[in-house]
Amino acid sequence: MRLLFCGDVLGRSGRDAIAEQVPVLRQRLNLDFVVVNGENAAHGFGITPKICEDFFAVGVDVITLGNHTWDQREIIPYLDSEPRVLRPRNYPPGTPGKGAGVYPAPRGRKVLVVQVMGRLFMDPLDDPFAAVEGELARQRLGTTVHAAILDVHCEASSEKMALGHYVDGRMSLVVGSHSHIPTADAQVFPGGTAYQTDAGMCGDYDSVIGMKKDAATLRLVRKLPGERLSPAEGPGTLCAVFVETDDATGLAKRVEPVRVGGRLAPAMPAV
């Protein structure tokens, strides 16, 4: 299978990049399944049902969220009615929505998608390792599902990497989100799991992690609260991770970064 995970979508620049590039990439890379992290899609803070529907309309299969899940209140009831939108799996029991699901893919195949949020420098949620283990007890790569993707929404690169090694050989892809900067460590672990510490951001990189640079910089220089941060509005770069898996095992054969548009140097897998 051919999988694509697009990093955090930030504001209109990021939404435009998804709308313009996902249909093109589905054809160019012959993609079977696309996951997008959309937790910053609504002006940098959360996501709305309308944005979710727009993403699905251009070819996104599943949307993951993160620490900004609840910023747009209208998303709360939507999470209970739309299984293709996932909040972190390690929120306490009873939290609206769900953190994992099994989804159909072409030719009768199934894809497991799980999201967890880290605990280092983040909200003190339940154990993300135990949350992932709980899902892997229900589904087995190469047996009940043909591919498995884990989005680790996390501040610390060490926690992301530890989760990647923890599930090595049991998932197709472990990829980090939240940091908004694409890392250069795309690799296939010894057990066959593809890994990248952070997919990066879909948004304007002439910014401070997607926000207008002047206001964001002044907050750090003056250490005083200033104007509300707002997304940068220049051309967006779509940053993503591409994985090709072995049909028999569901494990990764290769993993490569994808960067299209905007300011960053382009990167595109050969097919």
- Point out the residues that are catalytic: 68
Q: What letters, b where the CB count within 10 A reaches 16 and e where it falls short, cover 24-49?
A: ebbeebebbbbbbbbbbbbbbbbbbb
Residue 266 burial (10 A CB sphere; 0-12, 13-18, 19+): exposed
The DSSP secondary structure of 73-109, one letter per residue, reads TTHHHHHHH-TTEE--TTSPTT-SS-SEEEEEEGGGE
Residues 155 and 140: beta-carbon distance below 8 Å: no
Residues in CB range of 91: below 8 A, 6 or more apart:
99, 117, 125, 126
Q: Alpha carbon 112 to chain centroid distance?
A: 14
SS3 186: coil
Nearest CA to 113 out of 37, 41, 186, 178 is that of: 37
Residues paired with 62 in a beta bridge: 35
Residues in CB range of 263: below 8 A, 6 or more apart:
204, 205, 206, 234, 235, 237
Cβ atoms < 10 Å from Cβ of 215? 14
